[in-house]
């Protein structure tokens, strides 16, 4: 019976962990990888539901808080355009350098990306690190996910620990049973 509980715990852990990497991203906008420092490169992907042929305007702001706690400033620091493909998706690479912002990024924060077309808009954030330091208030396990919903990683770790503990208990029970019958 214990091995059944262990198997269920392991299955739940795998189901919980599968979406963690993108849980902070909206279903419409993905940033990959979700964090990095000066000189790093990330890809912005409009994943689905965009109207083919439309132009998407990407604007970039720097903020101390991730969306939705961040509103777009009066004028974005950088702007780019990309065309939506026939399948309703688009993709654009960004390099974190002096061309992206007119000032040096000396503190950790969030590079907030706003994507807007005539029929749709979405927002996501790239976690900007400085010498390995992450923005204040970012959950310690946020590397498992990223952004505002990354705190779900703590639950995933607890679930994995519970599954591993259950497996150990099941293995110990089987070993005890074998020694009694020997």
Give CA–CA dist 165/155, Å, rounded. Answer: 15
Tokens of 135: 């923005």
CATH topology of domain 24-138: Immunoglobulin-like (2.60.40)
> For all residues of the chain together, what is the average pLDDT?
76
Predicted confidence (pLDDT) at residue 84 exceeds the cutoff of 90: yes
| pLDDT value, residue 19 | 39
Q: Where do the domains of the chain lie?
A: 1-23+150-182, 24-138
> DSSP strand E in the chain: where?
29-32, 35-36, 41-46, 55-63, 78-83, 90-95, 109-116, 121-128
pLDDT of residue 139: 61
Q: What confidence tier does 119 reach under pLDDT thresholds 50, 70, 90?
A: very high
Taking residues 12-24, report their average pLDDT: 43
pLDDT surpasses 80 at 154: no
The residue with tokens 């923005």 is: 135
Tell how strand 55-63 and strand 78-83 pair up: antiparallel
């Amino acid at each position: 019976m214990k091995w059944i509980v262990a198997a269920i715990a392991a299955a739940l852990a795998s189901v919980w962990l599968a979406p963690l990497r993108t849980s902070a991203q909206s279903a419409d906008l993905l940033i990959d990888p979700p964090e990095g420092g000066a000189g790093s490169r990330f890809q912005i992907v409009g994943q689905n539901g965009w109207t083919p042929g439309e132009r998407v305007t990407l604007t970039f702001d720097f903020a101390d808080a991730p969306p939705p706690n961040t509103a777009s400033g009066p004028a974005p620091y950088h702007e780019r355009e990309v065309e939506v493909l026939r399948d309703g998706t688009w993709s654009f690479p960004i390099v974190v350098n002096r061309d992206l912002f007119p000032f040096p990024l000396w503190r950790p924060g969030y590079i907030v990306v706003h994507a807007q077309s005539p029929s749709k808009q979405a927002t996501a954030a790239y976690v900007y690190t400085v010498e390995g330091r992450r923005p204040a208030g970012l959950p310690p396990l946020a590397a498992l996910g990223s952004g505002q919903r990354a705190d779900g990683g703590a639950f995933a770790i607890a679930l994995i620990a519970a599954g591993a503990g259950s497996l150990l208990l099941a293995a110990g029970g089987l070993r005890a049973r074998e020694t009694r019958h020997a």
